[in-house]
Amino acid sequence: MIALWMLYCVGIGLAFVVVGYALERALHFAGRPTRWAWVIALAGSYVVPIAAWVRPDAFATFAVPIPVAVESARSVSLPTASTTSTILNQPSPPFTLSDLDSPLRWAWAIGSLAMLLTLSVAGARLIVIRRRWRQAVVEGRKVLVSENVGPAVVGLWSPRVVLPQWALQLTEWERSLMLAHEEQHLRAGDPALLATALLMVLMAPWNPALWWHWRRLRLAVEIDCDTRVLHRGHAAPAYGELLLRVGRHRRGQLLGVAAFGQPASFLESRIRRMVATTPRWRWAGVAAAIVVAVGAIVGACEAPRPFSPTDPLREPQAPSSFGIGGVMSGSDIHALVRPAIEADEAIQALQPPAVVYVWFQAMPDGRIVAHGRDDSRANLIRHAAGMGRIKTQGFAPPGVLAPVKVVYALVEMPWSQLSHSMTDRMTLREAERLRPWVERAARQMFPSILDPTGPPMDAFLVHDARLQVYRGTLTTLNYLGPSRSRPETDIDIAELKRALPSFNPGHDGWAVIDPRGLRGLVRDNVRLIRINHNPQPQDTAQGTPALDRAKVIRQAEQLRRLAREYHPEVFGGGTAPTAVALVLDASGRVLGHGADTRAARGAVVRTANGEVEDCLEVLTRLVPRFKDAQWSQSGCTNDPQPNVIIYWGQLLR
């Protein structure tokens, strides 16, 4: 896991190398300090991985391939045909990237400590040799004079300019030029900037991209100082010649200090930048560089983060004559989960080439206490890892457990955390975690389920992989009567398809949210079902079933006629957006109506494709006495007069 995160961070760092070069070019063409390009690159190399770690749901994932583990145990017996076997020369567990976690942690810690020790020694050395330097006034400026260190700025809290003894033999003009460069370092706060950048490298010394960022930042700092000095009227050829003279005298350098001629490998780049001319098309170059930088940043943010569900720690197993704590072959696992798979009619109804992704919660004694489905392997592993330690994962080919391929993850619940109510606690914890999400979605989609009284209902929330709800369906369970409680938690494929006609049981996931976690929010006779369905191009608008086109046209014409009959004042010469509301009974007779020029748009609900209006909210706002009514259908339609929208609802009874 750590190995993959390291590779991910290196990849993000390399993407920000591209960002740094592009922004450096843009800032150069625009005549701005180029150091900020590499400050942004360094910061971005940390911000994106930290965001991926803290907010994993905002990033795509790629799962770490983990082979099915084979573990030794005392004995195993499963409810299958009786067989006897002896395992000899059992192979060692296969190598996984998680095996590198411990050595990589040690290497990381040792590398950072070694770098910290190096910096500490360099700082101590600087303190010792600084005591031997004498103070002097050169060209009216207080400086430190050393034997052969400098010209440079040393110190972090109270930085000072240090000149070598040989610099005092230069001409007055050359010393002034040298001091002007070092004073630019002081004014720009370069010692603190370079120290902060070096600290960021120290935190991840294994990342070569960070070292490159720091190197380019040091070069950019020197180039920026050169540019400011030359803008004060100094000649570039003479300044470049002085740089070369300083480079020839330099015998060594102090780690991380800002210096006039450091390092020697930078001299060519600095001189080339000094004599370079700005092209006529520089603003086009700025725009192109910004496009490249933005593209690289977007690519870094969209790069999938690594995800692995494994936990290298093994927990002690309770003694049991039957369970999942010992050797588990593929046939053992299949025998363990087969009853749950065979009892799931939705899975058994699927046909190839569909693939179903299923997680199982198993107690150490081998009992499957819960199972559910997801829409992809990555989401399956993510969901399973959030419930406990993944014992194993794998797949069963078509015909073994179901007519289709079954990709599964088996989650082991340790004895130390289990009781007879473990399944209840797990589902309750999940429901409590989703409670704020349910409240937001319910207030947007169907606030009536939040009322303390009302008929029994099924409320379906359709969301994408990032839990963004874009559709809701409310079904009144008339056959139960107003005093009956909700039905059992089982739900069949037909109910799901009625709620979402584009529902694909071979691809989409679903779950009934434990009502105990919603008490006080959703009334007791409402069953709330979430469906994980990413919108597809073939889906109908908002997931609604196809209707007879002629019937829809007739209904719209009838609504427009009624709107003109009850509110003729809004039709004619007006241009302000206007809403007309009509409440109809089952026979189409108008029971209530209203109009308002300030309510032409309802509550905004974010969807995958844009924004849609919550028509029912506008309707009940304009005709408030029907706020608590139950509706058989509702909607909104445009009028030929473009500023008018007609909101309508038909009462259930």
Higher pLDDT, 619 or 387: 619
Confidence of residue 42 (pLDDT cuts 50, 70, 90): very high
pLDDT value of position 79: 34
What are the residue boundaries of the structural domains of the chain, listed by start? 2-76+95-120+189-300, 330-383+392-410, 425-543, 549-651
- Span 436-449, average pLDDT: 84
Higher pLDDT, 652 or 15: 15
pLDDT value of position 331: 66
Instruction: Kindly report the average pLDDT of the chain as a whole number.
Output: 75
- Residue 344's nearest CA partner among 513, 500, 527, 491 is 491
Confidence of residue 279 (pLDDT cuts 50, 70, 90): confident
In DSSP notation, 177-215 reads: HHHHHHHHHHHHTHHHHHHHHHHHHHH-TT-HHHHHHHH
Q: Which of 151-160, 288-297, 501-510 has the highest mean pLDDT?
A: 288-297
pLDDT value of position 69: 34
Residue 350 has pLDDT above 70, yes or no: yes
Number of other residues whose CB lies within 10 A of the CB of residue 494: 10
By the 8 A CB rule, do 375 and 534 touch?
A: yes
- 3-state SS, 234-282, equals CCHHHHHHHHHHHHHHCCCCCCCCEECCCCHHHHHHHHHHHHCCCCCCH
pLDDT value of position 644: 82
Confidence of residue 261 (pLDDT cuts 50, 70, 90): very low
pLDDT value of position 113: 93
CA 503 to chain centroid = 26
pLDDT value of position 237: 80
pLDDT value of position 648: 82
Residue 310 has pLDDT above 90, yes or no: no
Residue 295 has pLDDT above 90, yes or no: yes
- Residue 560's nearest CA partner among 544, 580, 584 is 580
Q: Which of 59-63, 253-257, 333-337, 502-506 has the highest mean pLDDT?
A: 333-337
Contacts of the segment 561-567: beta carbons below 8 A, 24+ positions apart: 562/590, 563/639, 563/644, 563/646, 566/590, 566/593, 567/593, 567/595
By the 8 A CB rule, do 336 and 78 touch?
A: yes
- Span 176-180, average pLDDT: 86
By the 8 A CB rule, do 621 and 613 touch?
A: no
Residue 611 has pLDDT above 70, yes or no: no
Residue 39 has pLDDT above 50, yes or no: yes
3-class secondary-structure state, position 503: coil
Residues 413 and 308: their CA atoms lie apart, in Å, by 18
**179-200 tens-digit pLDDT:** 888 888 888 888 889 989 999 9
CA 635 to chain centroid = 35
pLDDT value of position 366: 65
Give start and end residues of each alpha helix (H) in 486-637. 493-499, 549-566, 615-622
Confidence of residue 206 (pLDDT cuts 50, 70, 90): very high
Paired strand residues for 617: none
| Residue matched to tokens 């009892």 | 343
Residue 603 has pLDDT above 70, yes or no: no
pLDDT value of position 201: 92
pLDDT value of position 41: 93
What burial class does residue 202 get, using C-beta atoms within 10 Å of its C-beta: 0-12 exposed, 13-18 middle, 19+ buried?
middle
Q: Which two tokens stand for residue 591?
A: 């029971």
3-class secondary-structure state, position 323: coil
Helix, strand, coil percent values for the chain (each to nearest 5): 45, 20, 35
Residues above pLDDT 90, as percent of the chain: 12
Higher pLDDT, 270 or 639: 270
**526-573 tens-digit pLDDT:** 888 888 877 765 454 343 333 344 555 677 788 888 988 888 888 876
Number of other residues whose CB lies within 10 A of the CB of residue 83: 8
Q: Which of 27-36, 133-142, 347-356 has the highest mean pLDDT?
A: 27-36
| Residue matched to tokens 């799901």 | 496
Residue 633 has pLDDT above 70, yes or no: yes
Higher pLDDT, 177 or 369: 177
pLDDT value of position 152: 85
Confidence of residue 64 (pLDDT cuts 50, 70, 90): very low
Sheet holding 469-476, edge to edge: 469-476, 457-463, 526-532, 509-512
Whether the bond into 306 is cis, omega within 30 of 0:
no
Residues 531 and 375: their CA atoms lie apart, in Å, by 10
Torsional sign, CA 212, 218, 219, 221? positive
Q: Which amino acid would we find at residue 601?
A: R
> In terms of DSSP bridges, do strands 61-63 and 305-307 run parallel, antiparallel, or are they unpaired?
parallel
pLDDT value of position 496: 80
Confidence of residue 313 (pLDDT cuts 50, 70, 90): very low
- Name the least confident of 144-158, 226-240, 443-457, 490-504: 490-504
- For the stretch 276-315, what's the b/e string if a residue is b when 16 or more beta carbons lie within 10 angstroms of its beta carbon? eeeeeeeeebbeebeebbeebbeebbebebbbbbbeeeee
- Residue 435's nearest CA partner among 529, 516, 518 is 518
pLDDT value of position 602: 39
**389-426 tens-digit pLDDT:** 677 777 888 888 888 888 888 877 654 444 433 444 45
